[in-house]
């Protein structure tokens, strides 16, 4: 593929083609339509601030129309043979794989991540479609004799009903595929609302699914600049039966409150603040490699991003030095330029927040090993940063940084590291590095997180149950558990 999308005539053409291929409309009841009143919002390239295109911007009435379409399609869709539902996902998987480069380019344009990472996310998203195409035909039940022999117990699974799916900007394709895949497999209809900053990847996926044979009304996509005003009436409506949300803990709390009225089934994939623990016996080179991946993937804008590095004091200097050397060498720039490893942050607000957290830590005495501040525009770039001697009171230890900043702290007693790892309200993922199996197992038993990376800086896998505990939410996406979130159990007591 063309390695640089800037500069040459063919690269400009590639950008234009990627954007031109996407429907810029709302998908409601199988029709691509303009928003009521012709409203539109602009989508920007965070590497330049340039507007890429404009897309339909739904007011609340369009949201209600989308839910009505989903509700109307539900009964018929639930009757579809599981195999046929799976085949739609399989065809969509094949098209996403075939169009991987085009979809990756689109993602980099609207979100900013390096092209290599966008290619990885497209594959990850496709794998969810494939995984759930296989899960569609494995929805099981149970049949047993009651212990007293007096009745038969029949347990079956059925789709929960119309779902509301809300996704964030940081993984604009995979977070959607991770919800849409199981919803389709289970026989649920849905209204999807992508983040207004990155709607193009979702619109492209919806187009793929439509062409793969999804019946009208099963998938409805509403892009809006008024998330709250559009989604709250749908959450309170009564026709929707489930809400699956990926985003910040702050918004998740609000939505869980709204959903309590209709007692919606909830899946909440919320914020994270991952501790990365390096014990004294760790392979330091492997830990540094894992640290770069856990910290710098997506420029640090990942719920799974390592947020703080707790390193045994006996290896801290070596770890800090090697990590700094690697992070200092990373090339920062527009994600579509060759060799770029760290793209821009999503917007100026996010960049200002990262700068504020770094300034706070430095003001309290943290030492800057590399980076330390924003890079002048255009674009929302922040220098990859390593901080050492970070004092426990620094805000960035408790708050999600969501940027390319690695704070390092030392420990002497391993138990102290575990207590520190559990100190925040979050509980999504933790990473630990040790060569001692007993220490690894003993530590992961004490960690208050839904996931743990052991001698690995990456945990995401479509075949595994992804999700958190505490303020990182509840519910699981992917794995055998993922489809259960979209199924209700029915138990029948049958006379004997
Ligand atoms: P966000 O501000 O919470 O937004 C997430 C989504 O919710 C977007 O689509 C947003 O749309 C929408 N939204 C915002 N306010 C809403 C409201 N009142 N009603 C309905 N929808 C609303 O989070 P973000 O900044 O986009 O994403 C970053 C966060 O997501 C981080 O905290 C990250 O850790 C978390 N995340 C978690 C996981 C996980 O699996 N646990 C995965 C990825 C990201 P608009 O932006 O268009 O308003």
| Token representation of residue 290 | 């894992």
Q: Into how many domains does the chain fold?
A: 2
Q: Are residues 179 and 41 in the same domain?
A: yes
Q: For 317-468, where are the E strands, in sequence order?
A: 367-370, 385-388, 405-411, 429-433, 451-454
Residue 167 in contact with ligand 1 by CB distance below 6 A = yes
Identify whether 4 is part of a domain: no
Q: Are residues 57 and 16 in the same domain?
A: yes
Does 401 score more than 90 pLDDT?
yes
- DSSP, res 472: G
* Of the candidate ranges 9-23, 348-362, 373-387, the one whose mean pLDDT is the lowest: 9-23
pLDDT of residue 7: 45
pLDDT tens digit string along 279-300?
A: 999 999 999 999 999 999 999 9
CB atoms within 10 A of CB 427: 23
Average pLDDT score over residue span 144-169 = 98
Q: Name the burial class of residue 291, with classes exposed (0-12), middle (13-18) and buried (19+) by CB atoms within 10 angstroms of its CB.
A: buried
Q: Where are the alpha helices (DSSP H) in 436-475?
A: 437-446
Ligand 1 centre and the CA of 160: distance in Å? 23
Mutate to test the pocket of ligand 1, among 39, 222, 227 (most ligand atoms within 8 A of CB): 227
Identify whether 81 is part of a domain: yes
Q: Residue with the nearest Cα to atom 46 of ligand 1?
A: 195
Ligand 1 centre and the CA of 218: distance in Å? 23
User: What Å distances lie between residue 337 and 108, 115, 122, 331, CA to CA?
Assistant: 10, 8, 18, 10
CATH number at residue 311: 3.40.309.10
Interatomic CA distance for residues 323 and 315, integer angstroms: 12
Does 49 score more than 60 pLDDT?
yes
Q: Residue with the nearest Cα to atom 13 of ligand 1?
A: 227
Q: Residue with the nearest Cα to atom 17 of ligand 1?
A: 228
Which atom of ligand 1 lies at the shortest distance from residue 255's CA?
19
pLDDT of residue 368: 98
Identify whether 246 is part of a domain: yes
Does 9 score more than 90 pLDDT?
no
Contacting residues for 32 by C-beta, under 8 A, at least 6 apart = 23, 25, 26
Interatomic CA distance for residues 485 and 121, integer angstroms: 23
Average pLDDT of every residue of the chain:
96
Average pLDDT score over residue span 143-172 = 98
Does 468 score more than 60 pLDDT?
yes
Q: pLDDT band at residue 3, thresholds of 50, 70 and 90?
A: very low
pLDDT of residue 12: 65
Q: Are residues 161 and 290 in the same domain?
A: no
Q: pLDDT band at residue 5, thresholds of 50, 70 and 90?
A: very low
Which atom of ligand 1 lies at the shortest distance from residue 251's CA?
3
| Helix and strand counts by DSSP (H, E) for the chain | 15, 20
Residue 228 in contact with ligand 1 by CB distance below 6 A = yes
User: What Å distances lie between residue 402 and 75, 199, 310, 366, 432, CA to CA?
Assistant: 41, 20, 18, 19, 20
| Strand 190-193 relative to strand 219-221, pairing | parallel
Q: Are residues 365 and 216 in the same domain?
A: no
pLDDT tens digit string along 173-183?
A: 999 999 999 99
Does 259 score more than 60 pLDDT?
yes
Q: Are residues 281 and 139 in the same domain?
A: no
Q: At what angle do helices 227-235 and 60-79 cross, to 10 degrees?
A: 40
Which atom of ligand 1 lies at the shortest distance from residue 428's CA?
41
Q: Are residues 145 and 280 in the same domain?
A: no
Residue 300 in contact with ligand 1 by CB distance below 6 A = no
Identify whether 51 is part of a domain: yes
Q: Of 100, 42, 271, 99, whose CA–CA distance to 170 is shortest?
A: 271
Residue 305 in contact with ligand 1 by CB distance below 6 A = no
Interatomic CA distance for residues 170 and 343, integer angstroms: 12
Which atom of ligand 1 lies at the shortest distance from residue 466's CA?
40
Ligand 1 centre and the CA of 168: distance in Å? 4
Q: Going edge to edge, which strands form the sheet with 451-454?
A: 367-370, 385-388, 405-411, 306-312, 274-278, 429-433, 451-454
Phi-psi region of 13 (alpha: psi -120 to 50; beta: other; left: phi over 0): alpha
Provide the CA 56 distance to its chain's centre, in angstroms: 23
Q: Are residues 98 and 175 in the same domain?
A: yes
User: What Å distances lie between residue 481 and 160, 177, 185, 272, CA to CA?
Assistant: 15, 15, 13, 21
Q: Are residues 107 and 246 in the same domain?
A: yes
Identify whether 439 is part of a domain: yes
Interatomic CA distance for residues 312 and 424, integer angstroms: 20
pLDDT of residue 431: 98
Does 313 score more than 90 pLDDT?
yes
Instruction: Please tell me the chain's helix, strand, coil percentages from 3-state DSSP, rounded to the nearest 5.
Output: 45, 20, 35
Residue 168 in contact with ligand 1 by CB distance below 6 A = yes
Ligand 1 centre and the CA of 336: distance in Å? 25
pLDDT tens digit string along 208-235?
A: 999 999 999 999 999 999 999 999 999 9
Place of tokens 């200097």: 317
Q: pLDDT band at residue 13, thresholds of 50, 70 and 90?
A: confident
Q: Are residues 239 and 328 in the same domain?
A: no
Average pLDDT score over residue span 236-262 = 98
Q: pLDDT band at residue 59, thresholds of 50, 70 and 90?
A: very high
Identify whether 262 is part of a domain: yes
Q: Name the burial class of residue 281, with classes exposed (0-12), middle (13-18) and buried (19+) by CB atoms within 10 angstroms of its CB.
A: middle
Q: pLDDT band at residue 16, thresholds of 50, 70 and 90?
A: confident
Q: Are residues 53 and 186 in the same domain?
A: yes
Ligand 1 centre and the CA of 226: distance in Å? 13
Ligand 1 centre and the CA of 139: distance in Å? 30
Does 15 score more than 80 pLDDT?
no
pLDDT of residue 437: 98
pLDDT tens digit string along 76-115?
A: 999 999 999 999 999 999 999 999 999 999 999 999 999 9
Q: Are residues 267 and 279 in the same domain?
A: no
pLDDT of residue 484: 98
Q: Are residues 79 and 132 in the same domain?
A: yes
Which atom of ligand 1 lies at the shortest distance from residue 169's CA?
26
Identify whether 2 is part of a domain: no
pLDDT tens digit string along 408-463?
A: 999 999 999 999 999 999 999 999 999 999 999 999 999 999 999 999 999 999 99
Mutate to test the pocket of ligand 1, among 125, 128, 167, 168 (most ligand atoms within 8 A of CB): 168
> Which has more pLDDT, 138 or 11?
138
CATH number at residue 261: 3.40.605.10
Does 11 score more than 70 pLDDT?
no
Identify whether 467 is part of a domain: no
Residue 320 in contact with ligand 1 by CB distance below 6 A = no
Provide the domain limits for residue 125.
9-271+472-492
């Amino acid at each position: 593929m063309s390695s640089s999308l800037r500069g040459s005539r063919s690269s400009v053409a590639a950008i234009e083609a990627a954007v031109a291929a996407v429907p810029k409309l709302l998908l409601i009841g199988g029709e691509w339509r303009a928003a009521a009143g012709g409203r539109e919002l602009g989508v920007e390239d965070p590497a330049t601030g340039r507007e890429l295109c404009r897309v339909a911007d739904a007011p609340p009435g369009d949201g209600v129309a989308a839910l009505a379409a989903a509700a109307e399609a539900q009964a018929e869709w639930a009757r579809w043979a599981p195999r046929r539902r799976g085949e739609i996902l399989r065809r969509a998987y094949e098209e996403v794989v075939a169009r991987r480069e085009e979809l990756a380019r689109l993602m980099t344009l609207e979100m900013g991540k390096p092209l290599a990472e966008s290619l990885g996310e497209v594959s990850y998203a496709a794998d969810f479609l494939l995984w759930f195409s296989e899960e569609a035909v494995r929805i099981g039940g149970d049949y047993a004799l009651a212990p007293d022999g007096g009745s038969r117990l029949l347990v079956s699974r059925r789709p929960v009903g119309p779902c509301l799916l809300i996704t964030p900007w940081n993984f604009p394709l995979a977070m959607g595929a991770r919800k849409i895949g199981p919803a389709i497999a289970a026989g649920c209809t849905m209204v999807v609302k992508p983040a207004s900053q990155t709607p193009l990847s979702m619109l492209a996926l919806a187009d793929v699914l439509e062409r793969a044979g999804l019946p009208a009304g099963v998938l409805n996509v509403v892009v809006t600049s008024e998330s709250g005003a559009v989604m709250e009436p749908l959450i309170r409506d009564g026709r929707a039966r489930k809400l699956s949300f990926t985003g910040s803990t702050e918004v998740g709390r609000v939505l869980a409150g709204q959903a309590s009225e209709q007692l919606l089934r909830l899946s909440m994939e919320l914020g994270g603040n991952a501790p990365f623990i390096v014990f004294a016996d760790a392979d330091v080179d492997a830990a540094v490699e894992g640290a770069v991946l856990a910290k710098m993937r997506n420029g640090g804008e990942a719920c799974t991003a390592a947020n703080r590095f707790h390193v045994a004091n006996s290896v801290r200097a070596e770890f800090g030095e090697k990590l700094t050397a690697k992070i200092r060498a990373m090339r920062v720039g527009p994600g579509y330029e060759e060799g770029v490893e760290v793209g821009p942050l999503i917007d100026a607000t996010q960049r200002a927040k990262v700068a504020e957290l770094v300034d706070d830590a430095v003001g309290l005495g943290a030492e800057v090993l590399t980076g330390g501040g924003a890079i002048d525009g255009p674009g929302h770039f922040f220098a990859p940063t390593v901080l050492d001697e970070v004092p426990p009171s620094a805000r960035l230890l408790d708050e999600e940084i969501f940027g390319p900043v690695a704070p390092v702290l030392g420990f002497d007693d391993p138990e102290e590291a575990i207590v520190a790892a559990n100190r925040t309200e979050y509980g999504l993922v933790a990473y630990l590095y040790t060569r001692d199996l007993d220490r690894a197992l003993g530590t992961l038993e004490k960690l208050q997180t839904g996931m743990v990376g052991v001698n690995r800086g990456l945990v995401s896998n479509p075949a595994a149950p992804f999700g958190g505990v505490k303020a990182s939410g509840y519910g699981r996406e992917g794995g055998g558990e993922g489809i259960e979130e979209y199924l209700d159990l029915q138990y029948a007591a049958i006379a004997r």
